Amino acid sequence: MSEFALSPVTAVLGPTNTGKTHLAVERLCGHASGMIGFPLRLLAREVYDRVVAIKGERQVGLITGEEKILPPDARWLLCTAESMPVDRDVAFVALDEAQLGADPERGHVFTDRLLRARGREETMILGSDSLAPMLRKLVPEAEIIGRPRFSTLSYAGAKKLSRLPRRSAIVAFSTEEVYAVAETLRRLRGGTAVVMGALSPRTRNAQVAMFQAGEVDYLVATDAIGMGLNLDVAHVAFAGLSKFDGHRRRRLTVAEMAQIAGRAGRHQRDGTFGSLHADGPSAFTPEEIEALEDHRVAPLKSLYWRDGVPRLSSIDTLIADLEAKPEQELLRPAPEAIDLAVLKKLANEDWVRDRARSPAMVARLWAACGLPDFRKLGVDPHARFVGRVFEALSEGNGHVSHEWFAGEIARLDNVQGDVETIAGRIAAARSWAYIAHRADWLASPEHWAGRTQEIEERLSDALHERLTQRFVDRRTSVLLRQIGADAGELPVEIGPEGEVMVEEHVLGRLDGFRFSVAADARAHDKRMLLAAAEKRLGGELSRRGAALAAASDSEITLSPDDGGAPQLCWREVVIAHLKGGTSPARPKVVLDRSLDCLDKAQRKAVKDRIERWVADQIARRCPSLPRLDAITRDPAASARLRAVAAALSEHGGITARDPVAKAVGALEAEDRKRLRKAGITIGTLDLFDPRLLKPAAARWRAALFAAAGGRHAAQPKEGATVLDRGAPGASAAMGFRAIGAQAVRVDLVERIARDAHDKRDGRTPFAPDPALATSIGLTDATLGKLMARLGFRGAPPVEGRARWTWRGRPAPRRRPDKPAQPGNAFAALADIEFGNG
């Protein structure tokens, strides 16, 4: 094969981190023109960006299967090995990772470039030390130069994911395993970047940028990481030591292990490697560890080969050349690649043979078969796709139709979906990008190349966003970095709406004294977020405690009924609850558990302030209740007065007269005077304080009733005088007396009673003024029942007007009321009705 050596050939061999690629780039830029072939599209793009920075965009080209940037004046080309224009006359040619000639899937491409790609002035072959024996025999004119590693690589043992050091890369060998490891790291360490060969350069660069910038401290990758990608990695951990190579699952070779492990450390910084498993098939053997640390790899014994310039006179001749065996003993026939498998599949189709009769059409068929199976569909589905492409290329004007191309990429122009869905669309878009970059396959290749690039960029941005959403919890990541340094120095900030943040990442909300973790935090993160926030919220909570202890009356409110114990709020957050006390006028104040964060002295100060506020509110809204309570405890008061006061106090300042009629009848003038001074009206049917019927007082009575353990009494519509019996608020608790089908407010019942007594003259029949009952809203039936309850009976009407005559005060009516529970002053109130007529 020495006839291919047209220029000085130098082979620069050595382990990773020896500066081989950097040297090749320097040599490339030192020549008037040149070209480097890389194993990955990602690596070609990375070096392209570096050379553009040196030479300028107009002088540098990028050629990969799916991307072609080729300015008219381009003199320096960065390519994937498959896309290298081997026949282009350039001064310098380099092939990176040339030891991939031993790869069963792509090896024949690298072997072909190793043997045929030459620069006019200089050729450089870069690779592993394992390639040296092959070069000495296949390219004897090559000068082999060894390069030592810049830093030390050492084994750090097996470490679980939870114990991996920062700046670690974890290598897995399937997409499923990559995602599983990434998800675990998100939970344990706040997140990770993800790098796979199938990612578009834009997505890959965005993921790597997160890692390089320190936004995440971990990176999960496939073995693509071993192909020269420059990353700031301190430790490489192997999730496993076996991979599926397209035919079987096998253990990695030491050379493959070395290629990946060697990514640890950079320039002069030492690196380490290890595994996630201490024993079993996923653990390193002592021999492997020693070989990796000493950079010893077994020499290659053969390379895969396939004719790089097959004859195109016919389909059969093409297939025969592609299946031909190499002449050199060191070369092995390449396993059947998918392009050859697709060609043989299509060769069985009569219509394909009919169209591929000339060398030009055979060449066109072979070019179509070179369309990579980016979607990993397998031979049969991919062959159908290639067949359709060839069908378009072999008829009419020889172009793929705009309608088909546009329809397919329009279908892919959709950024919705999960990681797998968007990754699938990118893979499909790469197929169309490949077609668009074949100048003779489309009528307007530049237009469609730009269009596919736009779609791939949008999908790539969406994929980066989904990967970040799925595998990065920025809150946890930030916290772990901060906590790892000094938990006491967390830069916690509280926003105007109570949002608690660390470096602009919202951890949760501080509502009053209660910190709640952000709703989108997952269950396993909540404990850490809660602990992290509370470590730095002590000062703010103390400040709020002091503000509450000094709060003005207007800042504290009684919450609306919620079916449980009444709540007291400060700045719209719950701070305490009312419970039953020794009397309705003296409920207990129980601080909300959220105030447990305050120290003992602050909690006492806060409780004292709330108790004062409650006492003041009761004295203002329900002034008779404290006075009645005082009478019940006054030893100087008569027994009959204390009994009446106790009944009134027990029922919240409003009670039916019948149950206490005997005690009321025995009251002395001084007793009645004291009740009037307390605000109590001794009515015909009821004893009550009219002030307690106002909305604010009714609200407090309902709260005190609920605090004592009773059911919440529904409040009547504000200003209501008469309600339908059974309507909300039509209860004794709210000061309404049930009469027939209606419930009448007790002060209006007393007003009607007094009006009737003012108009009667002994037992002479009389006709009361109907306007009063009408204005209140009483029906005739209700009025009749009420008059009877007041001690009147009907008399013959005169001129259609109802008349009544006095028959004497009726005997007290008693009904079996629900007994009050001991210490539960309002327990019976909800079930009391002041007579039903």
Find the CATH number of the domain harbouring 232.
3.40.50.300
Residue 36 lies in a domain: yes
Determine the pLDDT at residue 48: 96
Determine the pLDDT at residue 2: 37
Match 């009919």 to its residue by tokens. 354
Pair (696, 714) in one structural domain? yes
Determine the pLDDT at residue 488: 44
Residue 524 lies in a domain: yes
Q: What is the Cα–Cα distance from 226 to 238, expressed in whole angstroms?
A: 12
The sheet with strand 153-158 has its strands ordered as: 153-158, 271-275, 235-238, 168-171, 218-221, 193-195
Low-confidence ranges of the chain (pLDDT < 50): 1-5, 485-489, 815-837
Q: Nearest CA to 117 among 195, 185, 36?
A: 36
Q: What is the Cα–Cα distance from 122 to 367, expressed in whole angstroms?
A: 30
Pair (55, 2) in one structural domain? yes
Pair (182, 134) in one structural domain? no
Pair (42, 83) in one structural domain? yes
Match 């081989």 to its residue by tokens. 20
Residue 90 lies in a domain: yes
Q: Of 258, 284, 301, which residue sits at a domain end?
A: 301
Pair (757, 805) in one structural domain? yes
Range of the domain at 209: 153-301
Residue 506 lies in a domain: yes
Residue 651 lies in a domain: yes
Mean pLDDT over each residue of the chain, to the nearest integer: 86
Helix (H) or strand (E) holding 115: helix 107-116
Residue 628 lies in a domain: yes
Residue 86 lies in a domain: yes
Q: What's the structural domain count of the chain?
A: 4
pLDDT, one tens digit per residue, over 444-462 is 999 999 999 999 999 999 9
Pair (168, 239) in one structural domain? yes
Pair (50, 187) in one structural domain? no
Q: What is the Cα–Cα distance from 80 to 101, expressed in whole angstroms?
A: 14
**Strand intervals (E) in 34-139:** 34-38, 60-63, 68-69, 76-80, 92-95, 122-127
Determine the pLDDT at residue 393: 95
Determine the pLDDT at residue 830: 41
Pair (92, 201) in one structural domain? no
Q: What is the Cα–Cα distance from 362 to 356, expressed in whole angstroms?
A: 5
Pair (144, 57) in one structural domain? yes
Pair (263, 295) in one structural domain? yes
Pair (629, 655) in one structural domain? yes
Residue 157 lies in a domain: yes
C-alpha dihedral sign at 518, 522, 527, 529: negative
Determine the pLDDT at residue 189: 75
Q: What is the Cα–Cα distance from 82 to 517, expressed in whole angstroms?
A: 52
Q: Of 110, 130, 148, which residue sits at a domain end?
A: 148
Determine the pLDDT at residue 705: 82
Q: Determine contact, residues 196/222, Cβ cutoff 8 Å.
A: yes
Q: How many CB atoms are closer than 10 A to CB 508?
A: 21
Q: Of 275, 301, 327, which residue sits at a domain end?
A: 301
| pTM recorded for the entire structure | 0.60
Pair (687, 778) in one structural domain? yes
Query: Side chain identity at 552, as an amino acid letter?
Result: S
pLDDT, one tens digit per residue, over 622-677 is 999 999 999 999 999 999 999 999 999 888 899 999 899 999 999 999 999 999 99
Determine the pLDDT at residue 823: 45
